[in-house]
Structures are given as structure tokens and as C-alpha cells.
A and B are shown apart, each in its own frame.
Chain A
Amino acid sequence: DADVTQTPRNRITKTGKRIMLECSQTKGHDRMYWYRQDPGLGLRLIYYSFDVKDINKGEISDGYSVSRQAQAKFSLSLESAIPNQTALYFCATSDSPGQGGTDTQYFGPGTRLTVL
């Protein structure tokens, strides 16, 4: 089974609808991230969470909200979707920095969201 899973994998919705994207991980990592990827713009950070009680805005948080329900679950919500939120969304996880080893980010398979 994949270490980082995202649901749904594909979603088409209409302008104004509320959408939730979910991310679950079995890696036991404390840190979780949401990115969006757009052609020509690369990956950009939306929100990140260092633990269940710690939520922080990233580079492009406007129009999005998140919820860290548990160490293993981190959800991204679009309260009122708009067409320019059409993109590929990735969840990522990383361990907390510590002595030895790497604490790099591991990505889920992505959710392709289309807002009509």
C-alpha cells in the first residue's frame, strides 16, 4: 500500500461548490503539506502543518483552508471553488528534523481538480 494516499484522484466540480481533498499517510511523519501544481508555474505551497495543533499558511493560501484531524490525516478545502483553482494538488509529508537521516518530503499521487 502507498505510504501517502490522496482522495479523490480526480474531481470535476462547478464554480461555487465546496470541495474537500483528503490526504492520509502511514509513514508516521509529523509534518504534512499541501501543494498545487500548474503548468508553467511549478509546485507552490498552500498550507503546512508541523503537528496536529500547528497549521501555517504557505505562499498561496487565499481561497483555501485546511484541517489536521490526526497525525495521519490532513485535509484541504476549497470553500467556494473558482475556475482558477483548477490544478493538480499534492499532499506531502516529512519527518521532523533530527540527528541523522534525511527529512525530505514524500509526495502522494495527486488529485486532479477541474472547476468549471
Chain B
Amino acid sequence: QKEVEQDPGPLSVPEGAIVSLNCTYSNSAFQYFMWYRQYSRKGPELLMYTYSSGNKEDGRFTAQVDKSSKYISLFIRDSQPSDSATYLCAMSRYSGGGADGLTFGKGTHLIIQP
């Protein structure tokens, strides 16, 4: 079993829809959870950073962590064509990655249709 599982997609939705992106993980020691967005031919850029369980909202983006289920989600409201990108979940045992670095999902390719 992979440490982090993420559906690669592609996930195609119409503009304005609510998008739900998810990752599951197996290592219960993970405490720090991140979502990165990666445009084609660019480096990943941090979208959301959460510690332990709970929700965090930033504009149109909401990150949820359910440690009991080992499941994290990213919701995008009022999706825009500019949101089309690959979304990577990442997690770590230690703040900043620490000695293990970050463990990434493989990424979900999201397409927002105008």
C-alpha cells in the first residue's frame, strides 16, 4: 500500500462548479498536511497548510483533514478556468518536512471547462 493515494484524474468540471479533491494516507504519524498547485512546466506552489484535524478556509479554497479516517480534502468553490492545474497533496510527520521531507500524492489533473 502506497503511503499517500491520490486519484490522478483527469477531473473535468464546468466553470463555476464546486471541485472536491482528495487524498488518503496510511501513516498515522503524519500531522502536517499541505495542498500544492502545479501549472504545466512550473514548480509546485503552496495553496493550503494545515496542522492536525479540522478545516481551514482561504478565499475559494477549503482544506479539510480527518485524521481518524486518514483522509484529506481540498474544495474549490466557484471554480475558474485559471484553476486548471495539477493539485498535489503532501504531508509530513514533522513541521516543514523535517528529516523525512514531504510525502506527496501523485497529483490530480484538474480541468475547468469555460
Q: Which residues of A contact B (CB under 8 A)?
A: 4, 31, 33, 35, 40-45, 48, 56, 58-59, 90, 94-97, 102-110, 112
Contact = CB atoms under 8 A, between A and B. Distances in A.
B41 A58 contact: no
Contact of B104 (A43, A94, A102, A110): A43
A48 B97 CA distance: 10
Contact of B96 (A35, A90, A94): A94
A43 B88 contact: yes
Contacts of B96: 31, 94-97, 103-105
Interface residues of B, number: 26
A107 B102 CA distance: 12
A95 B95 CA distance: 10
Nearest to B4: A42
Contacts, number: 62
Contacts of B74: none
B46 interface: yes
Contacts of A44: 104
B49 A109 contact: no
Interface string B76-114: 000000000000101000111111111011110000000
Contacts of B8: 40
